[in-house]
Amino acid sequence: MVEATEMKAANHDTNSPAGEQRASERANILARVREALSVAAPADHGEAAAASSIPAVLPAVGATFEDHVALFQKNAVELRAEFKVVNDASDLVAELKRLAAEAGWRQVATHRGELTDAVCPALGLPTVTAKSGADKRELERCDAGITECDALVAQTGSVVVTSRSAGGRALSVLPPHHVVLARREALVAGLPDAFALLRVRYAANYPSMISFITGPSRTGDIERILVLGAHGPKRLTVLLLATPP
Amino acid sequence: MSAPAVQFHHDADRLATDLRHRELVHTALSKYEVKRDEMKARFQDWQGARALAAATKRKAISQLDRHLEQLARGLEARGTKVHWASNGRQACAIIVGIIKARNARLVVKSKAMTAEEIHLNEALEHAGFEVVETDLGEFIVQLRGEAPYHIVFPAMHLVRGEIRDTFATKLHDAPSDNPEELTMVARRVLRQKYVEADVGITGANFAVAETGMVSVTENEGNARLTAALPKTMITLLGIEKIVPRLEDLALFLPMLATVGAGQLISGYNTMYGGPRQPGEADGPEEFHVVLLDNNRTALLADAEQREALHCIRCGACLNVCPIFRNVGGHTYGTTYPGPIGGVITPHLRGLQDWKHLSYASSLCGACTEACPVKIDLHHHLLQNRRNSAAAKPSWWQKTAFKFFVPVANRRGLWKLVTRGGRLGQRLHPLIKGSRLDPAYCWTKTRELPPVAKQTFKEWWRQRK
Amino acid sequence: MTVTLFIPCFVDLCYPQVGVSMVRILEKLGHKVVCPDEPACCGQPAFNTGYWDESRAVAEKVLDQLKDAEVVAIASGSCGAMMKVFYPELFAGSKHEAAAKALAPKCYEFSDFLVSKLGVTDLGARFPHKVTFHDGCHGLRELHIKDAPRRLMAQVRDLELVEMKETVCCGFGGTFSAKFPAISTAMGDVKISLAEETHAEYIVSNDSSCLMHIQGLLDRQRKPIKTIHLAEILVQS
Ligand code: SF4
């Protein structure tokens, strides 16, 4: 029903019946594409011959866990994200409490997850849990969003979250401070490793959103001067748990 | 001359002599240049990355039909509605239709050059919706009623004072001209819009055929919010945005950020494959992807220039282009300015009306050298010139070049030219630089070189 | 070796000293120099403007003049690019295709010829001045010549080379300079400012066409900095 109304509106200026046009535009476009491609393009500029692999051209990443921690740290700091390695779950709680006290959090948001469940209640703050039907206005009023992640990428200082592993879409971008809890094995060397990890974890059924977050929200749109917190979080804190909980 | 050509000449003449504008562009890009070079140096092999990116895009485009079908299948499998639009009018109608059917009023939009290309905002406003651009730069130019100045830095042409004044008149909120405070004004205004909006519209930088996803690159988080809060999400993208595999993004995301903005990777790179899935906390109930042709297939059909569809809209060719830097983005009068605009606009909007953009280049090749996907930009400009001259030669140029053939080829005539040159040179000061001067276009700002007392060939023959 | 000189039309007419310098340098190195008597234009103006038929009519003559040459040394990077890179494209599919393809590898821009083909960098020249070097875009990006002129200048006694902060086009661009004079002039002004920042006395280049543009602006603006072709420096002692 919705569909029919929509297509009628979409085609108010044409005579062809609604659904038909959609189908035919698809066919038209694909036909034009095929027709165009029937003439081969001239030879390339020698790229195919020169091509190596993606990992071999991207920035170097080092070999050991320590290298990767150091590289992530360097990239994160450069991008004004905060990064800390903590030993165990109790250190994690202590660190969160320190952040809460320092910034005066009154209300936080999080999602159900092994790590978040293990530490968030200990904060003793009113907590909004991202779940189906949660109020976005409520989420907007929280001082921090605490999420898990799928990966940390040393090469770029990025945090990888998905709509399945990090409490949906808004939690990691709506509250003004995003706190990421990461397990040791989440730290990967490079972007190709992160995509490989996603493939292993989700290939059968990808979440509706995968986001590579690098640093707090930023803009340079006014005179190319860097300002943090353009729309999303002004602060991004990444806490890496060195041992399993 | 076509109307766009007249406009171009008029604006170019004005801006090329505007020293304040020249300085502004220079300052805006100088920090970027340092960072860009620094990030390029971090790659183990930047030239190798370019080769790989070019080869990947070539593969993507050479099987575009298959990749598009694969993309659509993957998206549809997750409940996305995929729409196909042959032109801008259809795409606008589809999007207006979706919004109308939801009885929506407020639309938030993140940066999308494709939407600029089809004048989507006008169509939405005409249909009675409120459309709010959420990217800060786009928000500023929208408030001013201007087009984006640059495909990556929309408000590059403005200084803080101008932005403060814009906020003061349009938002009645402009505490100072401090960029941070101005940004926070925009943040406050736009936050409310995200929460209230019924529909979010985004563009996309890539579309992954294999997994059926669109990938959106941004720094501010505005696209993330646009895709998170409204009940309906619409993504509009050109059919050329394809990459074959998900892993290809590992290459393209850092390359785009490096040459596009001098960052190793942008703040948010987000792949969307569908509306909210079962078990996910939030996200739109509906996700629509509109695939736009709008003459991209015409460019595809030109095998010689097909690779122009490899463009990832990074803006690197604009930034290094000495013409762009002297005339600015608005002068082009197109969605895509600079070298890439000069190549593709004649294909997208008509060769004879837009060929002047292909001529407005010294063919220095800085663009080609900068392009991360190795598009042979300045040679494509030459091909557009050839095609336009073949289709519709200008009689006086044809005559001039025809006349030149025997002159260049025959000693007797060349001698005449030499003599004529020497004589003309003596008389020239009488009219030099005036409108009577046949060389006015040169002599208005430059001196002509004197004809030598003895040409090289005269010397050579004498010596023999 | 017998070196055939290609002296393009505008060098013949306005900058004969560039050709003369080339002859003297090559003869001093012990090579036989030949040069077609007839005038010669590589056909670039028509080519760049899109009039390929007219360009071919001019360029065919060049193919004919140079068909027996062993090697061709060219006084301008721009014409060099035309002959080396664009002729094969211009004549693709025509009866002259083979001749164009045969000519391309024999063509060298002059500084590249000295360094890459002859393996010479020191010509015993002396030029006691501070100079800066302008890379003509065609030489730089079509022919990938960057080091050769610098290696030659490094051996010139008492010459001090100060590089400009940026490598940008001088704004000439052939017919572009006449079609879009304001943009072309603005680009030239940017170039001149960069050169002035180096406090050089001379702007040196291996492309006379760029120098024609830059000198034209300098003369009009009565600026003291001068232009000179690299060959003219290499011949001095
Ligand atoms: S043509 Fe190349 S450099 Fe220019 S915007 Fe496209 S990808 Fe970037």
CATH of the domain at C76: 3.40.50
CB of B340 shorter than 6 A to ligand 1:
yes
Assess if residue C191 is contained within a domain.
yes
| Distance in angstroms (rounded) separating the CA atoms of residues B291 and B87 | 10
CA distances from C117 to A20, A21, B277, B356, C106 (A): 67, 64, 67, 40, 10
3-state DSSP assignment of residue B128: coil
Lowest mean pLDDT among B129-133, B369-373, B432-436: B432-436
- Residue C48 belongs to what domain range? 2-117
Place of tokens 């990777």: B265
Please give the sequence-ordered ranges of beta strands (E in DSSP) within B102-155, or none if there are none. Answer: 106-109, 130-133
DSSP 8-state assignment for residue B419: H
Residue finishing a domain among C62, C92, C117: C117
| B chain contacts of residue C180, beta-carbon cutoff 8 Å | 9, 12, 323, 359-360
pLDDT of residue B387: 97
What confidence tens digit (pLDDT) does each residue in C24-35 have? 999 999 999 999
* pLDDT at B398 (0 to 100): 85
Q: pLDDT tens digit string along C75-96?
A: 899 999 999 999 999 999 999 9
* φ, ψ dihedrals at A151, nearest 5°: -160, 155
Smallest Cα–Cα separation from B313: which of B267, B252, B361?
B252
Residues C209, C232: contact at Cβ < 8 Å? no
Comparing B400 with C122, which gets the higher pLDDT? C122
A241: closest CA of chain B, how far (Å): 23
CB contact under 8 A, B364 and C169: yes
Which of C11, C48, C183 faces B363 most closely, judged by CB atoms?
C48
Q: Same structural domain for residues C96 and C146?
A: no
Last residue of a domain, one of C78, C93, C117: C117
Are B445 and C181 in contact (CB < 8 Å)?
A: yes
Select from B206, B319, B373, B381 the residue to mutate for testing ligand 1; criterion: most ligand atoms less than 8 Å from CB. B373
H or E segment at A239?
strand A235-241
Nearest CA to ligand 1 atom 2: B371
A85, burial (CB in 10 Å: exposed 0-12, middle 13-18, buried 19+): middle
Neighbouring chains to B with at least 3 Cβ pairs closer than 8 Å: A, C
CB B206 within 8 A of CB B243: yes
Nearest CA to ligand 1 atom 4: B317
pLDDT tens, residue by residue, B50-108: 999 999 999 999 999 999 999 999 999 999 999 999 999 999 999 999 999 999 999 99
DSSP conformation letters of chain C? -EEEEE--HHHHHH-HHHHHHHHHHHHHTT-EEE--SS----SHHHHHHT-HHHHHHHHHHHHHHTTT-SEEEESBHHHHHIIIIIHHHHTTTSTTHHHHHHHGGGEEEHHHIIIIIS-------B--SEEEEE--HIIIIIS--SHHHHHHHHTSBT-EE---SS----S-TTTHHHHSHHHHHHHHHHHHHHHHHTT-SEEEESBHHHHHHHHHHHHHHT-S-EEEEHHHHHT--
Question: Looking at the domain assignment, is residue C21 inside a domain?
Answer: yes
Ligand 1 centre distance from Cα of residue B57 (Å): 12
Residue B436 has pLDDT above 90, yes or no: no
> Based on the domain organization, do C112 and C203 belong to the same domain?
no
Write the residue with the smallest CA distance to atom 7 of ligand 1.
B311
How many angstroms away from the CA of C38 is the closest CA of chain B? Answer: 5
* Ligand 1 in reach of B255 Cβ (< 6 A): no
Residue of B286, B307, B289 whose CA lies nearest to B238: B289
Q: Same domain, yes or no, for C199 and C97?
A: no
**Residue (of C221, C227, C208) closest to C77 by Cα position:** C208
The correct answer on CATH 3.40.50.10420 for the domain covering B46-294 is yes
pLDDT of the residue at A15: 43
Domain boundary among C84, C117, C150: C117
Nearest CB neighbour to B451, from listed C14, C41, C141 = C14
CA distance B393 to B292: 33
Query: d(Cα C11, Cα C109) in Å, to the nearest integer?
Result: 14
- Within this chain, do residues C20 and C90 fall inside the same structural domain, yes or no? yes
Considering the domain boundaries, does residue C209 fall inside one? yes
Q: Which of B20, B24, B364 to mutate to test the interface with C (most CBs of C within 10 A)?
A: B364
**Average pLDDT, integer, range B295-314:** 97
Q: Which has more confidence, B389 or A136?
A: B389
Q: Which residues contact B6 (CB under 8 A, 6 or more apart)?
A: none
Let me know whether C75 and C142 are in one domain: no
Atom index in ligand 1 nearest the CA of residue B315 equals 5
Distance from CA of C143 to the nearest CA of B (A): 11
Q: Which amino acid makes up residue C76?
A: S
Q: Do C113 and C182 share a domain, yes or no? A: no
Pick the residue of A177, A208, A214 with the most B CBs within 10 A to test the interface with B by mutation: A208
B370 C-alpha to center of ligand 1: Å? 8
| Domain contains C122 | no
Tell me how far apart the terminal alpha carbons of chain A are, to the nearest angstrom: 50
pLDDT at A12 (0 to 100):
41
Could you give the CA distance from residue B303 to residue B220 in angstroms, rounded to a whole number?
A: 38
Q: Which chain A residues are Cβ-neighbours of B55 within 8 angstroms?
A: 44, 47-48, 51
pLDDT at A19: 58
Q: What is the mean pLDDT of chain B?
A: 94
Instruction: Tell me whether residues B45 and A56 touch, CB distance under 8 A.
Output: yes
Examine the domain organization and report whether C91 and C11 are in the same domain: yes
For residue B11 the two structure tokens come to 């604006």
The beta-carbon neighbor of A59 closest among B44, B65, B184 is B44
Q: Please indicate whether residue B373, judged by its CB atom, sits closer than 6 Å to ligand 1.
A: yes
| Residue at C65 is within a domain | yes
Answer whether residue C124 is part of any domain.
no
Low-confidence residues in chain C, pLDDT < 50: none
The number of distinct structural domains making up chain C is 2
pTM (predicted TM-score): 0.94
pLDDT category at B389 given cuts 50, 70, 90 is: very high
What local confidence, expressed as pLDDT, does residue A245 receive? Answer: 55
Q: Which tokens is B319 given?
A: 């930034």
Q: Is residue C125 part of a domain?
A: no
Count of CB contacts below 8 A, B vs C?
A: 194
Q: Which of A221, A223, A227, A228 to mutate to test the interface with B (most CBs of B within 10 A)?
A: A221
Q: Which residues of C touch B326 (CB under 8 A)?
A: 183, 186-187, 190
Say what the pLDDT of residue A16 is: 46
Collect all residues of chain A within an 8 Å Cβ-Cβ radius of residue B224: 169, 172-173, 211, 231-232
- B393-to-A130, B287, B374 alpha-carbon distances in Å: 65, 48, 30
Q: Between chains, do A25 and B266 touch, taking CB under 8 Å as contact?
A: no
pLDDT for A50 equals 66
Q: Does C104 lie in the same domain as C67? A: yes
- Kindly tell me the burial class for residue C11, based on how many C-beta atoms sit within 10 Å of its own C-beta (0-12, 13-18, 19 or more): buried
Nearest to B449 among C38, C54, C212 (CB): C212
Q: Is the CB of B316 under 6 A from ligand 1?
A: yes
* The dihedral formed by the CA atoms of C186, C188, C189 and C195, expressed in degrees to the nearest 10: 150
What is the best residue among B58, B113, B371 to mutate for testing ligand 1's pocket, by most ligand atoms within 8 Å of CB? Answer: B371
Contact flag B300-A169 (C-beta cutoff 8 Å)? no
Q: Which two tokens stand for residue C75?
A: 């006084």
**Closest CA–CA distance from residue B287 to any residue of chain A (Å):** 10
Q: What is the largest CA-CA distance in chain C?
A: 51
Contact at CB, A6 and B98, closer than 8 angstroms: yes
Contact state of A37 with B62 under an 8 Å Cβ cutoff: yes
Q: Report CA(B206)–ligand 1 centroid distance (Å).
A: 14
B186 to chain A: nearest residue by CA? A230
Report how far apart, in Å, the C-alpha atoms of C173 and of each of B232, B362, C78, C179, C220 are.
51, 4, 10, 10, 19
Query: Does position B26 have pLDDT exceeding 80, yes or no?
Result: yes
List the residue whose alpha carbon is closest to atom 3 of ligand 1. B371
Q: Is the CB of B375 under 6 A from ligand 1?
A: yes
Q: Are the Cβ atoms of B224 and A211 closer than 8 angstroms?
A: yes
* Cα gap C153→C134, rounded to integer Å: 13
Judging contacts by C-beta atoms under 8 Å, the chain C residues touching residue B417 are 13
Report yes or no on C204 lying in a domain.
yes
B350-376 per-position pLDDT tens digit = 999 999 999 999 999 999 999 999 999
Map out the domains of chain B as residue ranges.
1-42+317-392, 46-294, 395-463
For residue C45, report the phi and psi dihedrals to the nearest 5 degrees: -55, -50
Calculate what percentage of chain B has a pLDDT beyond 70.
100
User: How many CA atoms lie within 13 Å of B342's alpha carbon, on the beta-carbon side?
Assistant: 32
**Chain C residues with CB inside 8 Å of B393's CB?**
51
Domains with residue ranges and CATH for chain A: 2-37 (no CATH), 62-241 (3.40.50.10420)
Angstrom distances, CA of residue C211 to CA of B78, C134, C202, C216, C229 = 62, 9, 11, 8, 8
Q: How far is the CA of B313 from the centre of ligand 1 (A)?
A: 5
Main-chain phi, psi angles of B273, to 5 degrees: -120, -10
Q: ipTM surpassing 0.85, yes or no?
A: yes
3-state secondary structure (DSSP) of residue B204: coil
In this structure, the strands spanning B268-272 and A209-213 are: antiparallel
Q: Closest-CA residue in chain C for B396?
A: C51
Q: Answer yes or no: are the C-beta atoms of B182 and B174 closer than 8 Å.
A: yes
Which subunits have 3 or more CB–CB pairs within 8 Å of chain A?
B
Query: Tens digit of pLDDT per residue, chain A (245 long)?
Result: 334 434 334 444 444 455 566 679 999 999 999 999 999 988 877 777 766 899 999 999 999 999 999 999 999 999 999 999 999 999 999 999 999 999 999 999 999 999 999 999 999 999 999 987 778 889 989 999 999 999 999 999 999 999 999 999 999 999 999 999 999 999 999 999 999 999 999 998 999 999 999 999 999 999 999 999 999 999 999 999 988 65
Closest CA to B207 of B312, B117, B306: B312
